[in-house]
Structure 1
Amino acid sequence: MSNTATSSSSATANKNEKLPPGVVLDKDGKPCRLCTSAASWRTMAKKASTASSSVAAGAVLASATPSSSSSSSSSSSTSNECPPDVEQLGRSTWTLLHSLTASYPTTASNEQQTDMRSFLGLFSKLYPCWVCADDFRSWMADPSGKNEPRLSSRAEFGQWMCEAHNAVNRKLGKKEFDCNFWEERWRTGWKDGRCD
C-alpha cells in the first residue's frame, strides 16, 4: 500500500521548496508522517533544526547540542517506539491484508463476501497514507473491472490480494512475488519446513 506516496511526493515537495524531496503533504498542506519515508522525515527535521538553531542565541545552541546528540544516539534504541513511516506502515498493512486472505473461508457466504467488500472499501478510504489510499481505491475501480475484489473463495481472494500487492511492487520498481505461492507464504508455511 505504501509507496505510491513516492510517485507523487516529488510534485508535492516542489509546491513547498523548503521541504526535502520525498516529503508528502497531507490534505491540510502539512507534512504527512505516514506518507513520508523515515529518511525524508529525518532530513526535514534536520533542516528545521538547522534553521531554528541558526536563529537561536549561542548560549541556547550550546545547551541544546548535548541533548540533541544524546537523543540521536538513543534514537536507534527507541526507533521501534516512533510513529511508522510509509514503508513500515506498508509492510505492516500487507501483513494484515495477506493474513485476512489466509483466514478467509474456503468458500465464502454472500454475507462474508459483502463484509469483506465493505472492509476493503472502508480501508481504501481510511488508510492513513492518503496518497496510498487514493491509489488503492483507483486500482480497485479500474474501468475494465479486472481489479474488482474477487471474494467467492480463499483461493480467489488470496490470488487477488497478491495481484494487488504486485501492482504496488511494480510501481515502486520492486520484485514481484510469484502468486502461485501466496498460500505457502501467508497461510500454510513453506514446504521446506523453514516456518516450523
Structure 2
Amino acid sequence: MSDAGLPITPAGDAEAPKRIPKGVVLGKDGKPCRSCTSFASWANQTKSSLKSGTGVAGGLAAGATVAAAASSSAPTDCPPDVETLGRGTWTLLHSIAAQYPKQPSPTQQSDVSGFVGSLSRLYPCWVCAEDFQVFLARSPVRAASRDEFGRWLCAAHNEVNEKLGKPQFDCNLWEQRWRTGWKDGRCD
C-alpha cells in the first residue's frame, strides 16, 4: 500500500487503480481481499473518515455503518481478516513444530517441508503468500529435528514480526512457548 492511499494490486495489472481506503489490499480479482486486509485498521480509518466527513467513507450513511466501523474487530462468525488468519496460521505452524519428532524420518521431513511449501502457495492472503515464498527461496525449511524446525519457524515468524513493527521473540524460548509451557507454571 502506498502512502497515497493507492491499493497494493497483483503484479501485471495494467488498469489504473481506484482510490480505496488506506490499508485495504486488493485481491487478484481486483476486489478488496478480506484475507489480506486488517479489519481493525480499516475500521479505525473508516471511523476517522466518518467523523471528519472526508475520504471514501465520508459519503456512507450513518447508523449501522458507523457502529460497524467503530468496532475494533469483526464478529467471530465473519471471514477472517489478515490478522486473525495470521494468528491462527502461526498457532498451527508452531503447534506442528512442537509436536514434530525429535528425530524425524526422511518421510516426516519431506512431509513437513511439502506442507510448508504448499501453504506458501495456497495461503489466502496473496501478499503474505508471495512474501513467504520469497522467504522460503532464501531460507528453505530446516526440519532435521524438532529443535531445528522450531527455530527455523521462529526465525520466519520473527521476520514477519519485524516487517510489521512487532517485537522479536527469543527463539531460545520457542519450546516453552509452544510445547512445554513456561517454567513459571502459568500454563499448568
TM-score interval (norm. to shorter)? 0.7 to 0.9
Q: Match for residue 158 of structure 1?
A: 150
Distance in 2 (alpha carbons) for counterparts of 1:7 and 1:163: 27
Partner of 2:24 in structure 1?
23
1:194 and 2:179 matched: no
Give the structure 1 partner of residue 7 of structure 2.
12
Q: Aligned partner of 2:118: which letter? A: L
Structure 1 counterpart SS, 2:86 = helix
Higher gyration radius (CA): 1
> By how many angstroms is 1:13 displaced?
5.3
Report the counterpart of residue 76 of structure 2 in structure 1. 80
For structure 2, list consecutive stretches of 5 or more residues without a partner in the other structure.
Answer: 10-15
- C-alpha distance 78-133 of structure 1, shift in aligned 2 (>3 A): closer
- Determine the C-alpha separation between the residues in 2 that align with 1:106 and 1:40: 40
**How many Å apart are 1:192 and its aligned residue?**
0.6
Using the TM superposition, give the Cα deviation of residue 48 of structure 1 relative to its aligned residue in structure 2, in angstroms: 6.6
SS of equivalent to 1:81: coil
Contact kept, 8 Å, 1:12 with 1:25, in 2: the verdict is: yes
Tell me the TM-score normalised to structure 2 length: 0.80
- The residue identity in structure 1 corresponding to 2:36 is C
Query: 2:34 aligns to what?
Result: 33
Corresponding residue for 1:110?
Answer: 106
Which of 160, 164, 173 is the equivalent residue of 1:172? Answer: 164
Instruction: Name the stretch that deviates more: 180-189 or 147-156.
Output: 147-156
Write 1 or 2 for the structure with the bigger share of helix. 1
RMSD: 3.1
2:91 alignment partner in structure 1: 95
Q: SS of 2:98's equivalent?
A: helix
Larger relative contact order (CA 8 Å, sep ≥ 6): 1
Moved more, 79-88 or 176-185: 79-88
Paired residue total: 175
**What's the TM-score once normalised by structure 1's chain length?**
0.77
The offset of 1:28, in angstroms, is: 1.0
One-letter amino acid matched to 1:39: A
1:119 aligns with 2:115: yes
Whole-Å separation in 1 of the counterparts to 2:38 and 2:73: 19
Question: Is residue 138 of structure 1 aligned with residue 130 of structure 2?
Answer: no
Post-superposition CA distance 1:131-162 (Å, at most 9, x none): 001000111101xxxx1111111010000000
8 Å Cα contact 1:9-1:23 kept in structure 2:
no
Partner letter of residue 79 of structure 2? P
